[in-house]
Each structure stands twice: as C-alpha cells, then as structure tokens.
Homo-oligomer: A and B are copies of this chain.
Amino acid sequence: MATSRKAAKARTRQKLLDATLKVLHRDGRSGLTTGRIAEAAGVAQPTFYVHFSDMDDALTEAADLVAQRMLERLRDYRANLSMGSPIELVRAAFSASVKALVRDRKLAELFLRHRRDAGTPLGERWAQVTQRARLDLVRDMERWGLQTSLPDLNIYAEILVGMTLAAAEGVVDKRIEDLDLMLDELAHFTVAGLQAGVARERPAAPPMGAPGPD
C-alpha cells in the first residue's frame, strides 16, 4: 500500500488531537502537558513533536477541530428547519443551536469554559463560532424584515445568543432537566419580545444615512 505509512501517521496525529481534548477536559489548561497528551494517545512523549511544532500548534488544531464540528452541526440542524408559525420556527432554531452545542457534553463543557480565553487559540477560534452565530442571526432577522422596526439588530443578536448559551449552560450544568419545556418557554418569550419591539412606539429615529442630532 502506497499510503499505509501516511495513513498510520494521520491516525497517530488524530489520536494526539483527541488526547489533547481529553486531557484538556480532564485536567484543565494548566494540567495540559505534552507528556500527558502523549500518554493518553498511547505514544512516547517526543512523538508529540513529530506532529506539532509546540503546544500552541496542537491547541490551535484541536480548537479548529471543535469549532468545525460545532459549525457543521449547526449547519446540519439549521438546514432542516421547516417553516411554520413564527413560534415553531424560533423554537426550532433554538432547539437546533442548543442541541448542536450540547450533543457531546464534554465538547460543550470545553467550549463553554474556554470560549473567552483571550490570547489562546481556544478563545480565539471559539469566539468566532459565537460571532458567526450573531451574524447569522442578524441576517435571519433582516430576512424577516425586522431591521426597519428594531433600532439595532446587533442588540437582539446579542440577546438571542445569550439566551441560547444560557440554555446550553443550564443543560450542561444540569440545572435544566426538561430542555423541551425550556425551548417552549424560550420560543414564546422571544417571539413576544420581538413582536413587542416591533410594535413599540419609539422616539423618531433618523432614517439611515441621515445626519444625527449632533
């Protein structure tokens, strides 16, 4: 076989990446060492350096792996959103996002714990996932014509992502036992909140492009 050596190397690399996430989950960032990673992968410690230039390199790849899995799941779930009443649609969107996050509990814990670790590959990559979610939400809301009724869609994206992550944290931390009930409440709460935002009288806002009051 022309690729058996290559394939074996790829397998070892994958074992090291999986081991990185496993040790990171078990021992936390400060307990993450090349020795423990190699041990968890079943290889000698210097083997780590056959595949990665240093710890940051491995962490970057591992973070990409997680981010990619999360985004793939999000895409899969969202692709299956069938139309229906606003409440059904919003509920399905929450359900998709929360389930994409918490399907693998260890991954969810890792993601939630390190999503704000600024200056590390984990924080940087994973912050991209939530930022992506915010942008998708703004686009969705624009498609529903909300940008003419609401003052700043970014604010609403912030709120919706916050609620989604709260639901995911509630599940991961086992404070929420009945996810379906929570999704029901989230959907009704959100639709009512958005409708109220649309219906509400506001101080006249200048049309886009017009000079502000100052």
Contact = CB atoms under 8 A, between A and B. Distances in A.
Contacts of A35: none
Number of copies: 2
A54 to B, nearest CB: 14
Main DSSP-derived SS at the A contact region: helix
Contact of A159 (B119, B154, B186): B186
Contact of A166 (B159, B185, B200): B159
A182 interface: yes
B167 A162 contact: yes
Contacts of A188: 193, 196-197, 200
A29 B32 CA distance: 12
A88 B134 CA distance: 28
> Which 9 pairs across A and B sit closest by C-beta, in order of nearness?
A162-B166, A192-B196, A189-B193, A193-B193, A113-B116, A158-B170, A162-B162, A192-B192, A155-B182
